[in-house]
Structures are given as C-alpha cells and as structure tokens.
Amino acid sequence: MTSPEPAPTRPPTSDRSVPGPEPTGASASGGAAGDVPRIDLHAHSTASDGTLTPAELVRTARAVGLDVLALTDHDTTSGWEPAARALPPGLTLIRGAELSCRWYGTEPSIPLHLLAYLFDPDAPGLAAELARVRAAREVRGERIVALLRADGIDVSWSEVLAYADGGTVGRPHIAQALIRAGLVASTAEAFAPQWLGERYRLPKDDIDVFRAVELVRQAGGVPVLAHPRATRRGLIVPDTVIVELAALGLAGLEADHEDHSSAERAAVRALAGRLGLFVTGSSDFHGTHKTVRLGAYTTGVETYERIVASARGVAPLTGPG
C-alpha cells in the first residue's frame, strides 16, 4: 500500500504551480488557439448527469478551443471508450471520474467530491467501490421516486432511467421528471428544500474520502479534491481534513470553479500552497443542466504536466492527426 508520490520526473519548465499567476480564469472565447494550451479538467457527459454524450462532449471541447479535456463522470468510467473513439484531432483526453465521497468525522457526515485522473479502471479495489456506489445510487433514486409517487406526484422510475440513458442515475434525472411533470421550471428549482433538496432527499451511500484517496493512488491515479470550499453547495470539510488527505496522497485542489467565490478561490490557493498541493481550474460542465460553459475555467500547463507525470494507471489519449 505505498503511495506513489512524488512524481519521479518534473517537466523541464519546473515551475511550481501554487499559487502563482496561472493562465486560469474566465476566457471561454474559444477561437484563436494561442501558445498557451487550454486545459479543462472537469466535465460530465450522459454517462452521468451531463447532457452531451461523451462523443459530443469531446467534439464540443475541440470546437470551443480546448486542447485538453478531462472526462469526469460521477462514479463511472463508462464514457471513456465512446469519448476515446470520437476524439477529434488536436484534443487530448484525460480519462477520469468524480467520486462521490463523504467525510464521516462529524454528524451529519459531509459529502465531498474527489476527482481522479488517469487511474486504472480495472484496479480491483477502486472498481469494486465504484460498482457498489453506482448500485446504491440506483436504489436511492428508485426510493426517491417512490416517495414522490406516494405523494401523488406523477413521475415514474422508468422515465428517470430513460433520462439517465444507461448512465449513473442521479438526482438531476429525477429533476428532469419533475420539470416534465410541470412541477418545477429548472434543475435548480428541483433541488429546492420542498423537492429534492430536503423533503424528497435520501442519504447517499458514498465512499469514505480517506479510503477513496488511497484507492485512487493504488489504482495509479491522481486524486484532486473538487470545489473544496464551495459553501454555496452546502457544508464543507474543515482544513484539518484536507491536511490529512494530503498526507494520504491527495495531489491537488480545484480552486477556480464557478461555485467558489473569489475569496474561496484565494483560500484554496493559500491552503494548497501551505500543503504543497497544486491547484486546478475547471468548468465542471454539465451541458444544459448548468449554465457554465465548457472551458469557462482552465488549468495551468505545469499542473497538467504534473498530473500526467505522476499518473500510473492509464495514459492521456490524443486525437488523430
């Protein structure tokens, strides 16, 4: 159970990416590909709760001028193959996932998301845990639909499954059913307390976050904590938890994310600097389920190279030509 860190090789331009002036930030203009590669390390497809198929997602990524895209569906790698097959020239695909984790060190426990890049999808520990979480999500979704139906609300499980289209079932798919039934106007509204936010909310069976970091490392992947300070999403874990995660092999923190205020981004950068972690910036694109555009936030090339250099699971894939 060794933690495969630190990276054996540093890129020649060994510029520490914390917390320096990286070319991150909102510049989703696409168009003229300059010298600086545009790298978006967090996006969802229909393999989880995005609205573009993996193939559409990689094509769109290139069309908006990205050079690198990470596909990070919730708890699944099922989008990897179709994304790889559709990879357009000039785009590099980082195969990843966003793991549904939880910190059980307080009551109630706090959910958090762990991005994992370039891990071996067949590593037994991680694969088993992902399968367990996906199965639990399905049971939970079915129970939420049953609660809604018990209150006379016209949604069905088969409809929700159809929205998930073979991908991981999530609350956004139930939200779609509520929108279709004319009960709410948007996904955001469906997540309000009187709906999926509280009244029809059931606990999720997530992965203990410490175990998740260890499993990702064992699978040769690079773990990065997604939106760690996003107070607008709910409770966040204290810094002491992130310190412990860093000791276990956490490699980076997502700083530039639409759910972080500028003060929260600065706090993430400062913490990363103290712990020797890198910082990333990503769109967390979900298609039309959210308003953020693909490539709205990006990651510096030094950080990207650090991720690639320390990964031992699968390699980045580059489109033909």
Contacting residues toward Zn ion, per CB under 5 A: 98, 113, 226, 284
Using Cβ positions, the residue closest to Zn ion within the complex turns out to be 113
- Least distance to Zn ion, CB of residue 44, Å: 6
**Which of 134, 22, 33 has its CA nearest to residue 78?**
134
- Least distance to Zn ion, CB of residue 245, Å: 16
- Least distance to Zn ion, CB of residue 307, Å: 17
Kindly tell me which of 145 and 226 has the beta carbon lying closer to Zn ion. Answer: 226
Kindly tell me which of 269 and 290 has the beta carbon lying closer to Zn ion. Answer: 290
| Amino acid, single-letter form, for residue 279 | V
Kindly tell me which of 113 and 229 has the beta carbon lying closer to Zn ion. Answer: 113
Kindly tell me which of 64 and 148 has the beta carbon lying closer to Zn ion. Answer: 64
Kindly tell me which of 148 and 253 has the beta carbon lying closer to Zn ion. Answer: 253
- The two structure tokens encoding residue 256: 């530039």
- Least distance to Zn ion, CB of residue 161, Å: 21
Distance, CA of 150 to CA of 89 (rounded, Å): 51
Kindly tell me which of 157 and 285 has the beta carbon lying closer to Zn ion. Answer: 285
- Least distance to Zn ion, CB of residue 232, Å: 12
Kindly tell me which of 206 and 284 has the beta carbon lying closer to Zn ion. Answer: 284
- Least distance to Zn ion, CB of residue 113, Å: 4
- Least distance to Zn ion, CB of residue 26, Å: 18
Q: How many CB atoms lie within 10 A of CB 183?
A: 17
